[in-house]
């Protein structure tokens, strides 16, 4: 795949191969990551990247759009079929831009949005003060119940009645449980707010029927084709026909210019792949693996936030082990296991230190890992946690990580 690059830019070629080695020899447990099929890399590296195109099928600003119209229509139709949606816009360059598109379609700067707190599991784009969403809009946040660590629906209702938001946002980056979309949709209806669900993390599980779908309940649903959908690197929006026109014109010309056509092609493939039985059974395994991992880590003395998981995410409280997220994240990375330090609800530590880590099972499940490997991975994580300063033990674990990773070869041969 990179044979020409090898001849013309050996420096960059070597760096990409270094990263390939890391991906092959490590245990990848970052919850937003996956390993994409070769087809995705082929399409994203295809001649589609040469074309410039703005607008939508049938209404373009550049000539030579006939084939591009067919491909975009294919991607749209597949997204609609996969999720049972009335309308799909597959142009957002990322999940963040999908959310930006929905906000700018439905509300005005200064309007109130009600989303989940970042440190309770929400995403930056749900109203964080460091993000456009918290700067352009008046952001109010809900969180999880201190005891159950599950979303506090009563708090959402209270805040909604008090602040009368124009949009209520559900969806999260580090929340391991199902979200009751119907309940929040009723709260939104009662205060005449739009209901946006950002399913970026769980879109693949939703597509496979492993996770409840927000589509019947939300006015708009955003997502990424990366993460559990395990495909193209980009975003998309699903919505009811009623607001389709507003959504389209908010994305283009509202917040984006020309499309990334190589990514658009890869999105069409992602949606088709997600309809296959093979994909559905992988997603089923992703959720089973997360449950197994949570249970094993719990047995080994970690505290699992909410006591378990319904999706691909395991949130781990490290305080029983007397270490921080930063310390474990770095120690795990040194042996080739990648996770990310993450705030847990009501975390006493700062975001750069944290009391927890977020662990995801998508990438390793796609490689072929099952229950046996989840038990092994939990054991490795625990050995690292208990030997943080023991260089010799960490060196041994590094060797074991490599052996385990190579039981599941990634992209055979030279790429």
Ligand X SMILES: Cc1ncc(COP(=O)(O)O)c(C=O)c1O
Q: Which of 149, 198, 347, 373 binds ligand X (CB under 6 A)?
A: 198
- 164: Cβ contacts below 8 Å, ≥ 6 apart: 112, 191, 192, 193
Binding status of residue 134 toward ligand X by CB under 6 A: no
Q: How far apart are CA 229 and CA 52, in angstroms?
A: 26
Q: Which of 100, 125, 292, 340 binds ligand X (CB under 6 A)?
A: 125
Give the residue among 270, 338, 289 at the shortest CA–CA distance from 32. Answer: 338
Binding status of residue 340 toward ligand X by CB under 6 A: no
Nearer to ligand X, 152 or 198 (CB): 198
Binding status of residue 256 toward ligand X by CB under 6 A: no
Q: Which stretch binds ligand X (CB under 6 A): 43-51, 170-178, 286-294, 364-372?
A: 170-178
Q: Which of 65, 120, 123, 358 binds ligand X (CB under 6 A)?
A: 123
Q: How far apart are CA 62 and CA 69, in angstroms?
A: 11
Report the interhelical angle of 371-386 vs 391-405 (nearest 10°): 160
The answer to whether 129 and 139 are in contact (CB under 8 A) is yes
Nearer to ligand X, 32 or 292 (CB): 32
Q: Which H or E element spans position 350?
A: none
Q: Which stretch binds ligand X (CB under 6 A): 151-159, 195-203, 296-304, 385-393?
A: 195-203
> Shortest gap between Cβ of 96 and ligand X (angstroms)?
3
Nearer to ligand X, 32 or 354 (CB): 32
Binding status of residue 65 toward ligand X by CB under 6 A: no
Q: Which of 43, 193, 200, 218 binds ligand X (CB under 6 A)?
A: 200
Give the residue among 81, 62, 85, 58 at the shortest CA–CA distance from 70. Answer: 58
Nearer to ligand X, 271 or 397 (CB): 271
> Shortest gap between Cβ of 319 and ligand X (angstroms)?
24
What residues from 204 to 233 belong to the interface with ligand X (CB under 6 A)?
A: 224
Q: How far apart are CA 377 and CA 302, in angstroms?
A: 14
Q: What is the largest CA-CA distance in the chain?
A: 64
* C-alpha distance from residue 156 to each of 164, 184, 190, 220, 321 (Å): 11, 8, 12, 18, 33
Nearer to ligand X, 173 or 324 (CB): 173
> Residue with the closest Cβ to ligand X?
95
* Tokens at 36, concatenated: 């994409």
Binding status of residue 96 toward ligand X by CB under 6 A: yes
Distance of CA 230 to the CA centre of its chain: 9
Nearer to ligand X, 172 or 335 (CB): 172
Rounded to 5 degrees, φ, ψ at 58 are 90, -10
Binding interface with ligand X (CB under 6 A): 32, 94-96, 123, 125, 171-173, 198, 200-201, 224, 235
């Amino acid at each position: 795949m990179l044979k020409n690059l090898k001849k013309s830019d050996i420096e960059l070629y070597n760096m990409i191969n270094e990263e390939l080695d890391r991906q092959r020899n490590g245990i990848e447990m970052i919850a937003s990551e996956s390993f994409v099929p070769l087809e995705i890399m082929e399409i994203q590296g295809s001649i589609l990247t040469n074309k410039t195109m703005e607008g939508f099928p049938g209404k373009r600003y550049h000539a030579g759009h006939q084939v591009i119209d067919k491909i975009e229509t294919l991607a749209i139709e597949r997204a609609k079929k996969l999720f049972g949606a009335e309308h799909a816009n597959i142009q957002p360059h990322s999940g963040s831009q999908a959310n930006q598109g929905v906000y700018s379609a439905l509300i005005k700067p200064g309007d109130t949005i009600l989303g989940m707190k970042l440190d309770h599991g929400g995403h930056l784009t749900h109203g964080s003060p460091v993000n456009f969403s918290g700067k352009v809009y008046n952001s109010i946040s809900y969180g999880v119940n201190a005891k159950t660590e599950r979303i506090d629906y009563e708090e959402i209702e209270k805040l909604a009645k008090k602040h009368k938001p124009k949009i209520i946002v559900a969806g999260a980056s580090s929340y391991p449980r199902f979200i009751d979309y119907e309940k929040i949709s009723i709260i939104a209806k009662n205060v005449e707010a739009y209901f946006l669900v950002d399913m970026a993390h769980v879109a693949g599980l939703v597509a496979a029927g492993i996770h409840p779908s927000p589509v019947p309940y939300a006015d708009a649903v955003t997502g990424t084709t990366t993460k559990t959908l395990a495909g193209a690197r980009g975003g998309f929006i699903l919505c009811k026909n009623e607001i389709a026109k507003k959504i389209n014109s908010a994305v283009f010309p509202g917040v984006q210019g020309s499309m990334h056509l190589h990514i658009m092609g890869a999105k069409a493939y992602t949606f088709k792949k997600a309809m296959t039985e093979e994909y559905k059974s992988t997603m089923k395994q992703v959720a089973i693996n997360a449950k197994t991992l949570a249970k094993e880590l719990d047995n080994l003395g970690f505290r699992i936030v909410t006591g378990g998981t319904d999706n691909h995410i395991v949130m781990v409280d490290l305080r029983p082990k007397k270490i921080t997220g930063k310390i474990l994240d770095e120690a795990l990375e040194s042996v080739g296991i990648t996770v990310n330090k993450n705030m847990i609800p009501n975390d006493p530590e700062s975001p750069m230190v944290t009391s927890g880590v977020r662990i995801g099972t998508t990438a390793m499940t796609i490689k072929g890992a099952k229950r046996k490997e989840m038990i092994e991975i939990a054991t490795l994580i625990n050995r690292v946690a208990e030997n943080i300063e023991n260089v010799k033990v960490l060196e041994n674990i590094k060797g074991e990580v490599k052996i385990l990773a190579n039981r599941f070869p990634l992209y055979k041969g030279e790429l």
